[in-house]
Structure 1
Amino acid sequence: MALNLDYKPVEVVSTAGMPESEWLEWRRKGIGGSDSSAVMGCSPFCTTRDLYYDKRGIAPAIQDKPNWVTLKVGHLLEPLVAEIFARQTGYRVYQIQKMFRHPLYPFMQADVDYFIETDDGRHGILECKTSHPNNKGKWADDCIPYNYELQCRHYMAVMNLDFVWIACLFSNSEADFVKRYIERDLDLEEDLIQNEQHFWEDCVQAGVEPPYTENGDLVLASLRKHYGPSDPEQPTVLLAPVLALDLQRYVQLTAMKRDYEQKAKEVDRRIKEAAASILDAMGTAERATLTADGVVYTVSYASRYRHTIKKEDLERLKLEYPAVYDAFVSVSESRSCTVKTKEEKKT
């Protein structure tokens, strides 16, 4: 399809002072910038299926928010990120607290952090991020995390603007501040629009669940969120023959893993044998050194203490002090998959 660039974004609703619950309801009416990576199957946080459940009103895309403090801090620091950017560039940074919609693809929505006016009068977008210092490597060598890039390209498409600056603060020092420039790319934009259109029209509106295509951990987390704990009262499921290849692959990979684990155990045994004479020479010392053949070896063998409670003591606590047990003991649910095989009996 050839993109029509003769358009202006449609103002949908003012977001100034809007309660979060109402804002979330508006987000469910279309695809936002932060949804783009999930649509493309490369979100680090949720699957395309999770996003489908969110847009259909079945369940939020991200149900558990253990990092709510991080999210809150990121929101509170957005003005600071914008101020640092303005000071470093001299550009005018301003807000338009409204939700916008693409006039030609109305399922595409945008709630932009800030806008920019450059010295020569050009207008663009400023996307503000905060992150942990450990994530600086993802931004090294002028890189941008791909999920953020997709978010920016979505915003350019909706707002019909030609560039985005994305800025990220990693600590309380301006030295840990990076900014990256993204120019509009109509070929990438066309691909993004096609995928978003397919997701919205053929999945969300049609009520058809998209397939899982993401990495295993993300998919399994999605399945646990959607189905919840197992039900021992449910009858045994008769699987469709099409799943036979997946079962065969699972059995083969499990056997490979056992083989690797056995080899790792053997290596671990040899490591302990090699360490025994060294630790014997150290006695109760926590550190040791040796220089040999131009190499300096430094050994650390310090005691570490961990407080645990035995299973039998935990049971006694539950019986004798149930209130204390309920106050301090939490229960977590997990499920493990095992597959057993046996030869089919010939008749």
Structure 2
Amino acid sequence: MEGNTKARERYSPLVLTETESLSREQWLEYRRLGIGGSDVAAITGISPFRTARDVYYDKLGIAAVEEYEGNWVAMEMGNLLEGLVAEIFRRKTGLEVYQVKKMFQHPVHRFMLADVDSFITMPDGTKAILEIKTTNYNAKDRWWGDGKEIVPPYYEIQGCHYMAVTDIDRVFFCCLYGNTENEAIIREIRRDAAYEEEMIFLERQFWEDHVQKKVPPPYLEDGDVILESLRRYCSPADKELPAVSLKGQMASNLMRYFQLQEEKKDSEKNTKKLKDDIQRLQAILAAEMGSSCTAVCDRDGKRYTVTYNPVRKPMVDKDNMARLKLLYPEIYEQFVTVSEYRKFYVKASDAVEAGGEAA
């Protein structure tokens, strides 16, 4: 992100609370008093992990977002390695890193909160923020785009939020993706006034129009993210519930869904974007149906019926299978069968020289 160095009036953030002695429950209660950096990507619809509705439920105390993160091991690894990654950054840059155990609050936009990982004192005496991240080797490519070094958008907006709250103009990111110091990515972003203004507008809109008024925000995210959110918060399917009537925008969504399904039949139009658009509309309609298994829509003299029925089948998942083998080996050997199949695979290699033999 290009920095916009337009002159602005400086300010000091407020301190909402000291965090060093807070329990996790107390920390969550303070965080619900406003919007934190990790919330902003979801609020603005660019998070690959959660929806604005997830953050809304968190702020109202219905369910904490952290309880439903997809990979709890990754979260724990991030916490455990925070000090190590900070030390890697220090060794690579020569910059001293320090922590401030406080939750900050914007002096004007009081709904904006920041619990920053670490701070840096630059050689010219100014301060910068250090955000520490960890990822796996396969996900490291998210830090490059079109061959250029980037910060993933969902982290970039987090850094911009922290700069706005603290009135600091630079954020460094250090992301460890391997087990050596050379497998660490360092990026920097600068403050951008126009970007920040738009971000604050969206945050205020979310806080005032949804959280304070207790009106759930609409689902606008990718279909897979919406469906995952539904699995977390929606009650189980109930075939006894009456059919949901789709009207207004939902009726339009259904018509658009049918239109895209027709386009999908044309192989030349069957693109990834088309599939993503279909999945997103399906997820939005499923969210409208809630626990009901049926929806109806009367449009242009026709009645459209949507069914969203549960499909249940008994199974033993991978973790329970491992427990069964460990705790009850006799039962495991008696009832578990191993299936076999052949995998067809072609690999290209250097041709064998004339007169030689293949190994």
TM-score calculated relative to the size of structure 2: 0.69
Which residue does 1:212 correspond to in 2? Answer: 219
Structure-1 separation of matches of 2:315 and 2:224: 34
Query: Does the C-alpha gap of structure 1 residues 120 and 3 become closer, same or farther in structure 2, counting only changes over 3 Å?
Result: closer
* Contact 1:129 1:168 survives alignment (8 Å): yes
Pair 1:129 & 2:136 matched:
no
Structure-2 separation of matches of 1:130 and 1:255: 43
Give the partner amino acid of 2:91.
R
Report SS of the residue matched to 1:181.
strand
Which residue does 2:118 correspond to in 1? Answer: 114
Pair 1:38 & 2:42 matched:
yes
Which residue does 1:57 correspond to in 2? Answer: 61
* Contact 1:74 1:129 survives alignment (8 Å): yes
Pair 1:236 & 2:243 matched:
yes
Pair 1:181 & 2:203 matched:
no
Q: Deviations over 1:184-229 (max 9, x none)?
A: 1111111111111111111111112212111111112222322221
Structure-1 separation of matches of 2:315 and 2:131: 53
* Contact 1:3 1:190 survives alignment (8 Å): no
Which residue does 1:6 correspond to in 2? Answer: 10
Kindly state the Cα deviation for residue 66 of structure 1 after the two structures are TM-superposed. Answer: 4.5
Of 73, 82, 87, 1:69 maps to 73
Pair 1:81 & 2:85 matched:
yes
Structure-1 separation of matches of 2:87 and 2:207: 36
Pair 1:156 & 2:182 matched:
no
Which residue does 1:144 correspond to in 2? Answer: 151
Q: Deviations over 1:106-155 (max 9, x none)?
A: 10000011000112211111111010111111112211100100000100
Report SS of the residue matched to 1:174.
coil
Instruction: Give unmatched runs, 5+ long, in structure 1.
Output: 264-310, 315-322, 329-347
Structure-2 separation of matches of 1:3 and 1:53: 38
Structure-2 separation of matches of 1:312 and 1:4: 62
Q: Deviations over 1:23-59 (max 9, x none)?
A: 1111111000111111111111111111111111222
Give the partner amino acid of 1:151.
Q
The structure whose Rg is larger is 1
Query: Does the C-alpha gap of structure 1 residues 247 and 3 become closer, same or farther in structure 2, counting only changes over 3 Å?
Result: farther
Structure-1 separation of matches of 2:74 and 2:178: 12
User: Pairwise CA RMSD of aligned residues?
Assistant: 2.7
Kindly state the Cα deviation for residue 86 of structure 1 after the two structures are TM-superposed. Answer: 0.8
Report SS of the residue matched to 1:208.
coil
State which drifts further: 14-23 or 82-91: 14-23
**Aligned residues between the structures:** 269
Which residue does 1:29 correspond to in 2? Answer: 33
Query: Does the C-alpha gap of structure 1 residues 153 and 173 become closer, same or farther in structure 2, counting only changes over 3 Å?
Result: same
Query: Does the C-alpha gap of structure 1 residues 31 and 172 become closer, same or farther in structure 2, counting only changes over 3 Å?
Result: same
Structure-2 separation of matches of 1:184 and 1:45: 25
Kindly state the Cα deviation for residue 19 of structure 1 after the two structures are TM-superposed. Answer: 1.7
Which residue does 1:245 correspond to in 2? Answer: 252
Kindly state the Cα deviation for residue 17 of structure 1 after the two structures are TM-superposed. Answer: 3.4
Which residue does 2:303 correspond to in 1? Answer: none
Query: Does the C-alpha gap of structure 1 residues 232 and 62 become closer, same or farther in structure 2, counting only changes over 3 Å?
Result: farther
Report SS of the residue matched to 2:125.
coil
Query: Does the C-alpha gap of structure 1 residues 65 and 210 become closer, same or farther in structure 2, counting only changes over 3 Å?
Result: closer
Structure-1 separation of matches of 2:100 and 2:263: 56
* Contact 1:46 1:62 survives alignment (8 Å): no
Instruction: Give unmatched runs, 5+ long, in structure 2.
Output: 1-5, 271-312, 317-326, 333-359
Structure-2 separation of matches of 1:256 and 1:83: 53
Structure-2 separation of matches of 1:75 and 1:230: 36
Query: Does the C-alpha gap of structure 1 residues 312 and 241 become closer, same or farther in structure 2, counting only changes over 3 Å?
Result: closer
Pair 1:92 & 2:99 matched:
no
